[in-house]
Amino acid sequence: MAEAAIKKIGILTGGGDCPGLNAVIRAAVKTAIIQYGWKVIGIEDGFEGLLKEGKTRPLLYDYVKGIISHGGTILGSSNRGNPFAYKFREGGKIVSEDRSSVLIDKMRSQEIDALVIIGGDGTLSIALRLAKMGVRVVGVPKTIDNDLAATDVTFGFDTAINTATEAIDKIRTTGESHHRVMIVEVMGRYTGWIALQAGIASGADIILIPEIPFNTDTVCTVINERIKSGRNSTIMVVAEGAKPDGGTMSVRMVVEDSHDPIRLGGIGDMVAEAISQKTHIETRVTVLGHIQRGGTPSAFDRTLATRLGVAAVDTLAAGGYGKMVCLHATHIAAVAIENAVSQLKKIPPDGEVVKAAQSIGVSFGK
């Protein structure tokens, strides 16, 4: 029997927010309405919107006017609500159960024929499992960490590195005024794309990333050599997932009921303490945190997000279920979601970007 035609689609944003989400939503809604005459349902707070009552709403053409420049997501987002391991408290304990069948029933009851799922590796891993159950889905890659495989760039990354670069530029002036070591801790759990590119763009002297374990003695040697040569301040950019050689990541807390429970933090303070003890140089730490996720998306991210939103709807219309739209060089393509989430896109320690940084005197603490 022929598959029923798509008449109504749902759109959701999962995981952490990032600049450009609203641009994707806007483009997908407009394309669905203008090009295909489909109805669009907005699903609030990620997958939870399909598991709880009253958390979906129609997205009409006029509802998405003017949101291309807005940060965050008009639909809300969540790291919770994994339908395959939905966590809740029962008898004082956190338990989980598979509610994927409930989610599919909710889709049927609202006559949602297909989903555009916007998210990072966690959200898209859920999308992949739904696709294997027969749900018509297309994924859109979203993460400021730029760590999704199968796409050259994720939207939100450009805005994040611009935000980080501007902050580091400002921190540099106070470091130079007081002859201090200034450490800026940026996001980047398992990959250091933000630290690497913002560090290069801001002229950082030392960059510490998860892909290259560092040695604190080497870091201190670099700082001391800078002082001997008359450079009395040092700018260091540290990814939150950076770790010392033979050591582990600095975990700030664990959130048990979250799909992604580990919360990193504190590596900047750890490095600062080691520097202060070994060099007796005044060291200050600034943690940029969620400021990297917020604010107005850059022109690049608005354009990329728009192209991906259009492509997601076009891919659904063409029957490309289980695909993720992506950027390859300068053109938009569609690849199997499985290829995108099978591994993280990490920085090659001997790659061109790292070598370029080293060529201009940047140390990676190795």
Q: What are the residue numbers of the active site? A: 145
What separation in angstroms does the CA of 177 have from each of 88, 201, 232, 236?
52, 21, 9, 16
CB 305 within 8 A of CB 20: yes
What does residue 159 show for φ and ψ, rounded to 5 degrees?
Answer: -65, -40
* Cα→Cα distances 317→11, 114, 313, Å: 15, 10, 6
Instruction: Work out the burial of residue 91: count CB atoms within 10 Å of its CB; fewer than 13 is exposed, 13-18 middle, 19 or more buried.
Output: exposed
* Cβ within 8 Å of residue 210, ≥6 positions away: 188, 189, 190, 191, 192, 239, 241, 242, 243, 249, 346
Rounded Cα distance, 250 and 185, in Å: 12
Strand 262-264 and strand 251-254: pairing?
A: antiparallel
